[in-house]
Amino acid sequence: MFLALEAGGLCGVGEVSPQPQALNGDPSLAEVIVELEDFALPQLVDLTRREGQLPAWARVTHLAGSRSASRVASALVEMAVLDWWLRSSGGSLAELWPARYSTPTQVTVSMLDEGSWADVTSASQVRAKVSAAAVLSTRWDELASLKLPVLLDFNCSAGGPEEVVALLDFARRHVEVVALEQPFAPGNVIEHARLQERVDVPLSLDEGVRQRRDLDQIARYRAAQWVCIKPSRVGGFAQARTLIELARDRGLEAYVGGFFETPLARGANRALAQHLVARPSDVAPVELVDSRLLEEDRGGLGWSIGEVLAATAPLVSRTW
């Protein structure tokens, strides 16, 4: 989902990738569109009119509400405003977020189907999507052949701690397991804390991290040792940066996650990760499904709207 924001002769572009249906606390595409049309963009326009210019990109997060769809819509607007300001000033992400870490890349594969996996030759770690009931046995040999440490991602699918412990024991016959990600539902810090006491690898929470209060609860109950911060889930880059720093203050190791973004958002996520985190993150380069969607350029975040998007009637098209 792209947003092209034009002001003063310049165009800033943002991107998020909500799923078709709401899942595990994340909003659907339709919900994000409603938030964008009814709340996020009208608020941005009102603020711009009052102040006579677009607000600084880091202020956009303050326009977000508490709804999960509101945070995703805010992230979309924030990225477009950030791109606009970088183009306006001639600045770059490298100047805004100087690289301080050679953040390793993590590549995600699914153990639940027979589809082909992405190229992992440049990755230092694999996130393997698993389920206690549905992992294909042939996949374990394929996973072992990658010869990389593995994070087992349950995506909230575990029925109880016994399932998780059993799968961990089985997986260790094949691969080096470095962590278990989000076995139980978002917000279930008690069950995660009990599981963390039983296993000798870190638990990581992903869907369970959306705001400061989540980090406070995770740290209070010792429900995990790692957290995955996804900028579009938490409300954008300003919020992601704050949450990563708060996680560190609370003794939690953070890494940057992503959804199914194009090089536009993936590149921005990579810059944020290299500025803030040393742990493997979902920032490996990706390719466009259609090279005409976006055009690479030297300004802003490095991409502009391509001919396919420019010629397609957008879902949201308004002029103020």
For residue 105, give every residue at least 6 positions away whose Cβ sits within 8 Å of its Cβ, in sequence order, or none: 122, 123, 124, 125, 280, 281, 282, 283, 284
> What pTM value is reported for the model?
0.94
Per-residue pLDDT of the chain (320 residues; tens, 9 = 90+): 999 999 999 999 999 999 999 999 999 999 999 999 999 999 999 999 999 999 999 999 998 888 999 999 999 999 999 999 999 999 999 999 999 999 999 999 999 888 888 888 889 999 999 997 777 778 999 999 999 999 999 999 999 999 999 999 999 999 999 999 999 999 999 999 999 999 999 999 999 999 999 999 999 999 999 999 999 999 999 999 999 999 999 999 999 999 999 999 999 999 999 999 999 999 999 989 888 889 999 999 999 988 877 777 555 556 55
In the chain the domains, ranked by start, together with CATH numbers, are: 2-91+290-311 (3.30.390), 96-276 (3.20.20.120)
**Strand ordering across the sheet containing 125-129:** 106-110, 125-129, 150-153, 177-181, 203-205, 226-229, 253-256
